[in-house]
Amino acid sequence: MVDRTDRHFRSLMRLITRHTLLYSEMVVARAILRGDHQRLLAFDPNERPLALQLAGDEPGALAEAARIAADYGYDEINLNVGCPSPRVQRGRFGACLMAEPQTVADCVAAMRAAVTLPVTVKHRIGIEGREQFADLAEFVEIVALAGCDRFVVHARIAVLGGLNPKQNRSVPPLRYDDVYALKRHFGDALFEINGGIATLDQAAVHLKRVDGVMIGRAAYDDPMLFAAADARFFGGAAGDGVDRIAVVEAMVPYVERWVAAGGQGYQVLRHMQGLFNGMPGARRWRRMLSVDGPRSEEPGRLLRAAIAERR
Ligand SMILES: Cc1cc2nc3c(=O)[nH]c(=O)nc-3n(C[C@H](O)[C@H](O)[C@H](O)COP(=O)(O)O)c2cc1C
């Protein structure tokens, strides 16, 4: 999620769930071609399995960006056809590409030819003016023929004129049935459902109808939501769930390494604020991280002190 998640949040998530597929925030393919690969693409190998999400509408640029990403060790390339932001629309990519299934298909085919990794597409169930199931099915059919390995479907249309990105994640109603209908219609293709899913129980219900579930905001707000995911969905033992203190303890050497390498401690700590949500003392934890975190020169020590206080 742009402006929210990054490699540090993914490292935190990886301590909570070993097997859930993680996605990068959207990275514009042309930005990768302009250089600064390290800033845009570097990640900790522990984050894998990890999909890189690209944005763009030029098959050649996307193919080249996918090739560079494959060398970095990503496990999957995902194309963003769901973002409604005006900036992205000016670039003619994101959700507005739902009106151009053949362009998306050409992009998928070019990336498929460039890398051996799975190439997937994240999209909406429609955009204003193309919001019937027949439009959606046409989009999926054309993109599937180009070799798309999985469809990640945000079960809302995007309104590209009147709503801002935040409203576009809440105002258009969720239509899960459209995603289920896709699965029935294209039985051989893989579909991952997204939008408004906030518990593993809800995920389990969707998994009876589709192949995967993507959770965005709820994962950020309450990362420990995923503590039981490995046991529940990936064949782990019931006792495999991690506890919060163990997660914080594991983040101590992580943040210390990051600071030793020249990074800012708060770049890591800021993602840990939701870790105790729903627990006694959650507010105090958040305050400690948000007030003391930004000015702390020894973030590892801050975390240790916070743990000691909770014991
Ligand atoms: C701050 C923010 C940034 C987002 N950035 C991206 C992004 O980079 N790529 C993407 O595919 N979706 C992005 N999304 C949308 C989410 O991935 C997801 O589709 C949407 O929030 C609905 O799912 P949820 O209810 O589980 O959050 C973003 C959402 C938020 C709140």
Q: Residue 24 in contact with residue 51, Cβ under 8 Å?
A: yes
What global pTM score does this model have? 0.96
Q: Which of 217, 221, 226 to mutate to test the pocket of ligand 1 (most atoms within 8 A of CB)?
A: 217
Give the domain extent around 122. 7-222
The gap from C-alpha 288 to its chain's centroid, in whole angstroms, comes to 27
Q: Which two tokens stand for residue 136?
A: 């959606």
Q: Are residues 281 and 178 part of one domain?
A: no
Domain finish residue from 166, 191, 222: 222
Q: What is the pLDDT of residue 163?
A: 92
Number of domains forming the structure of the chain:
2
Torsion, Cα of 93, 99, 101, 107 (10° steps): -10
The partner residues of 150 in beta bridges, in order of sequence, read: 120
Q: Are residues 198 and 82 part of one domain?
A: yes
In this predicted structure, the answer to whether residue 240 has a pLDDT above a threshold of 70 is no
* Shortest-distance Cα residue to atom 22 of ligand 1: 195
Average pLDDT value over all residues in the chain = 95
Q: Are residues 145 and 248 part of one domain?
A: no
Q: What is the pLDDT of residue 10?
A: 98
83 belongs to the catalytic site? yes
Q: Are residues 283 and 144 part of one domain?
A: no
CATH of the domain at 270: 1.20.120.1460
Q: What is the pLDDT of residue 303?
A: 95
**pLDDT tens digit string along 74-111?**
999 999 999 989 888 888 899 999 999 999 999 999 99
Q: Are residues 104 and 34 part of one domain?
A: yes
Q: What is the pLDDT of residue 68?
A: 98
Cβ burial, residue 90 (10 Å; 0-12/13-18/19+): exposed
* Shortest-distance Cα residue to atom 3 of ligand 1: 1
Q: Are residues 167 and 33 part of one domain?
A: yes
Q: Are residues 257 and 214 part of one domain?
A: no
Q: What are phi and psi of 202, to 5 degrees?
A: -65, -40
Q: Are residues 207 and 257 part of one domain?
A: no
**pLDDT tens digit string along 149-201?**
999 999 999 999 889 999 999 999 999 999 999 999 999 999 999 999 999 99
Pocket of ligand 1 (CB under 6 A): 1-4, 25-26, 53, 80, 82-83, 122, 154, 169, 194-197, 215-218
Torsion, Cα of 121, 94, 27, 154 (10° steps): -50
- Sequence-ordered list of residues with C-beta below 8 angstroms from that of 85, at least 6 positions apart, any chain: 94, 165
